Amino acid sequence: MDNNLSLQHKNILITGVSRASGIGAAIAKICVQAGANVVTHGNPQYDANRSYPDASLDFCFDLAREYNIKTISPSDLSAPNEPKKAIQNAQKLLGKLDGLVLNHAYSVNSTIFDCTAENIDKHFNVNVRSSMLMIQAFAQQIEPERGGAITLFTSGQYLGPMINEIAYAVSKEAIRGLCTQASVALATYNIRVNCINPGPTDTSYLSGVAYDEVTKMFPSGRWGTPDDAAKLVQFLHSDYAQWITGQTIASEGGFQR
């Protein structure tokens, strides 16, 4: 491996790691393979409630054993104290953190007419508020001479409408804004902040005719994979990306809306 893509000696917390075919699991694996010390957080109960085929309450612990990864107790990041607690628990396991990958998300399909106050609040509390609080707690433990990197995940809402999951889309637009603001606010702390739009990614959430229809929208004739997103995360946390901050990167394989 090119040494500049090495993550040796970096301590990285990755959220949204709770099922085998998810992006979070792929990020955790590639970061460990690149030499990072990794701790994960997930909420497998959310996946079970969504009836994902690979939902498992034990997955994060199984992954930790197989790949020499540390994990903190699963929790719902919409609870006000959980974001800061997750950072603190990760520090207890690894010491000072160098990287933060905020891959977690809450998404329930709803049109503009279906949204309720509870539905909207849940999207913003998980996707936006928890990310802001985790960034805050992460930045407070950073040593500026060592610096750090944060990667956020948005979606394709800024490239086209997502009106059947509008609360999710609006919350993900807020994540793009958070990237822009935090990258400037944290620059003097030597913390880089970037955002990834991974495009439609095959995480086993779609199948059949609907899956085939989306496939046709990619010029290459294939969906994005969790590994595609994970490789970009590795790059953004490596020395190669030291001059990149405040960016939203669309890694969609030419997806045609």
Helices (H), the chain: 23-33, 44-49, 59-67, 82-94, 117-124, 130-140, 166-185, 208-215, 226-236
Amino acid in the structure at residue 94: L
The C-alpha R_g of the chain, in whole angstroms, comes to 17
Query: Own/partner pairs for 43-50, CB < 8 Å, 24+ apart?
Result: 43/18, 43/74, 43/75, 43/76, 43/77, 43/104, 44/18, 44/19, 44/74, 45/74, 45/76, 46/18, 46/76, 46/106, 47/18, 47/19, 47/22
Residue among 170, 157, 97 at smallest CA distance from 127: 170
Please report how the helices 59-67 and 23-33 are oriented relative to each other, as an axis angle in degrees rounded to 10: 20
> Looking at the annotation, which residues are catalytic?
168
DSSP code, position 100: E
Provide φ and ψ at 191, rounded to 5°. -115, 125
CA atoms of 152 and 120, how far apart (whole Å) = 20
CA atoms of 98 and 249, how far apart (whole Å) = 21
